[in-house]
Every structure is written in C-alpha cells, then in structure tokens.
Amino acid sequence: MENRSILGDALALAMLPSDSIPEIPRGMAKLSLFDWLVVGKAGSTEPVSRIISDFVLEEGGEPQASVFGMALKLPSRAAAMANGTISHALDYDDTHFAHVGHLSVGIMPAALAIGEAINASGADIVDAFLIGAEAACRIGMTLGRQHYEYGFHQTATAGAFGATIAAGRLMGLSSVEMQMAVGIVSTRASGLKSQFGTMGKPFNAGIAAANGVEAVKLASRGFISSEDGLSGPQGFISTHTQGSNDIDAWISPPPEHFVFEDNKYKLHACCHGTHAMIEALLQELRERSILPADVDSLTIVVNPRWLKVCDVKAPRTGLEIKFSYTWLASMVLFGIDTSNDAAYQDALCQNAHIIDFSSKVTVISDPEMSDMQTDIIIRMKDSTQRKLFFDLAARVPEAALAERLRKKASSLIGSEKAEHIWLTLSSVESLSARDIAALLNS
C-alpha cells in the first residue's frame, strides 16, 4: 500500500453514507456520547477546567456553542477547546489501544460544537463522531506505535484528523473541501506525551478538537492547503514516524468493518494500563476472599511499555496513584473503590497499610503480553499460589457495558443526574444537537 492511498481512504470514510453504518458501532458511539458527557460534567470543577474556561471566556466572540459548567455560549472553536480539555481533566474517558489514544475527548467536542452551531440532529452527531473516531483510529494505526514512542500523544495528533472529519461531515463539506480541511489540520495537529501528569495532557485533547473546528471552518471558506498534507511527501505521516507504517490499518474499511468496535471504556479512575490488573483481582475476590495479611508476595506481569507509564513505585500525589500498579493493587485488596475518583487523595500516599503491603508487590514485564493483558501470581503465606489472568480485549456485551457505565456515572455525578442524561439520550435520534448541548449544564 502506498501512502498516497491513505488520504483517499480517509476521504472515502468521511463521505460514507449514514445508511451504510451498522448498528453495532453506532450503538457504541452512543455509549461514548453518554460517557463523554458524564466525565465532562464530573471534570468541570477541576483547576484546569476553571483555567481553560476563564481563558476562552475572556476571548469572547459569537455565541455558538455550549461549554461544560458555563452559562454563556462561545464560538465553536473556543467551545471545542474548552470541552476537550474539561472532559479529559479526570483522565476517565475511553481508550482505543490500537489507536493508542482517547477518542471521545478529542472528537466529540468538535462534533458537538459544530453541530450545535448549525443545529444538526442528534443522529448526525452520533454518526459524525463515529466516522471521525474511525478515521482517528486508522490514522493512528498508520502512524504506528513508533509515533507514540517518539513522544507524540495520539489523542491530539491522530485525534485532530478525526475531529476534522467529524466536524467537516456535519458542516456538509464537499470532498474537495474535506481534502483541504485534512491538509489544513495536518499542519496544526500536535501534542506531546511530555505533558503527561500536568494540565498539558487534557489540553492536548482540547487542541485536537479546536484544530478540527478551525480546519473545517477555514476549508468551508475556500482556504487552500496542501493537496495531501496527511500522507503526501513531507506530509504528517512521513514527518511524524519512520520505517514501515501499519499497512493493515486500512484493510477492510467501513462499512465492512469498524475498528472502533474495539474501543474500551474506563471503569476505574486510573491509567487504562492498570485496568486488566484491577479486573483480574476483582474477579478473584468475587470468587474467594484474599486477606492482605495472608499474602506473602504478589507479582504483576505486563507488557514492557506499561513500565514507563504506570509503574510509579512510591506515589507522592493522588494523581500519581493513578499510575501506580503497586498502590492500585493494594487499594483493591484493601477494599478501596478504584472506580471512585474521590478515592485518589494525596493522603492515600501515606497510608501505612498500603506502604507496608507495597513491599510485597513486584511488577515485571513480558513482551509476549499484549497491551491489554495482565498475569498475576499471588503467593500466600500458607505456601499456596494463585494464578490470575485478564484480557481487556475480550468483548463486553453492550447491555453489560451500559450497566457498568451507568454505575460509573452515578458514582461521578450522582444517580439523579446520571439517569437524566441516560434517559434523555435513549431517544437521541429524536434530539437536536442543541438538546444534547443542553445536557452539558443540566
């Protein structure tokens, strides 16, 4: 496959008729909308959310789109930036492991900002997000793991292309205009992993959404860009990764297959790389109890790349706990709810029981493990041994996933608000984008 065809495939995906979209990925897109609204509302009072809200409010402009926690409307680009940042403030949003990034926080804000401005239908918002997310996934897969290892945050880089395609679809761009929009965003897309652990990480999601809106609005006005800023000579792909790209990324494109169906939702308020470990321990605890005092040692086996991300040995803050296998394993065994964001307090770093138990925990790597797998070996003081395994790649039935997302929502924003959003979105096809936007502040 030549790089040149990647742009063509992306444009074909952008123009896919809605009646060609299967119901399974569309159903997952609806779950993403629900989850995004919940984590955005929950994150709207975070310090980074207040800063970004003050910033966009100060700039002012035409009242086009709503922002979490703000009574006034703002220009769609500013609203997309704010909502992207706010909804990623808790880092409790969905993850696509093949794309190596978070989809909803970079793409949904762009889709809703444009959709609200033009009063698109709720059905069109869902489909635009799905198509944008699929494009981001496949562009992220084309960029490959090397792009991420170089230090780029694909939520912001590949995500900006997804935001552009979602927003452009809602704006009704022609194929040529969409091509120009992709070219425009190719010179804007950015975001670095060096921002992880700071306010810069959620801001990466905000700039992805804002870049998508900006590119689409310029293209709709006749702005001319590179004909192939994505995959042409010195385009985004060739300048942001090296070697052979994942040539399988565009095999079996929609409507034949949506890789978005592999999207995973965070059910614990911590790094997604730790979730397989947490699920393995919880599954074991449902079957038989484990008293921390009876454990002699606990060994966690993960893919090597996670050791660089979520193996903080002695966390100093509640945020660092979210990236600590040792503390998170201890939390599970001591009965502390890892799905409750309020549990991640700085004081937990000084918890004597967890500090003592941490000396029993060892984290090692195995390159044969996938990003979504974890092996656990628990050696008990009575010389017995328990071997656990969990793979996040296993599909959770939609009904079961929906139930867990509703439980997560209740813990984050309260059952009344959670159920209001859930019931409202149950008839999303009859809603307008402005009806959905009203949920940001209901």
pLDDT, one tens digit per residue, over 315-368 is 999 989 999 999 999 999 999 999 988 899 999 999 999 999 999 999 999 999
Scanning 20-93, the segments in alpha helix (DSSP H) are 23-43, 47-59, 76-87
pLDDT the model gives residue 248 = 78
Is residue 255 reached through a cis peptide bond, with omega within 30 degrees of 0 on the bond before it?
A: yes
pLDDT the model gives residue 246 = 57
349 token code pair: 């770093």
Distances (CA, A) of 164 to 30, 70, 75, 178: 19, 24, 16, 8
Q: Is 108 exposed, middle or buried (0-12, 13-18, 19+ CB in 10 A)?
A: buried
The Cβ-side half-sphere exposure at 383, using a 13 Å CA radius, reads: 0
> Looking at the domain covering 4-264+398-441, what would its CATH class be?
mainly alpha
Measured at the alpha carbon of residue 437, what is the angle toward residues 21 and 90, in degrees to the nearest 5?
90
Do 4-264+398-441 and 272-391 fold alike per CATH?
no
Q: Residue 158: what are its φ and ψ, rounded to 5°?
A: -60, -35
Q: How many helices (H) and strands (E) does the chain have?
A: 17, 6
User: 3-class DSSP state for residue 170?
Assistant: helix
The superfamily (CATH) of domain 272-391 is 2-methylcitrate dehydratase PrpD (3.30.1330.120)
pLDDT, one tens digit per residue, over 188-239 is 999 999 998 799 999 999 999 999 999 999 999 999 999 999 999 999 999 9
pLDDT, one tens digit per residue, over 272-297 is 999 999 999 999 999 999 999 999 99
d(CA 25, CA 362): 38
- C-beta separation of 98 from 259 below 8 A: yes
Domain boundaries in the chain? 4-264+398-441, 272-391
pLDDT, one tens digit per residue, over 18-48 is 999 999 999 999 999 999 999 999 999 999 9
d(CA 177, CA 193): 31
Q: Is the pLDDT of residue 1 over 70?
A: no
Of residues 242, 229, 238, the one with CA closest to residue 7:
229
pLDDT the model gives residue 4 = 44
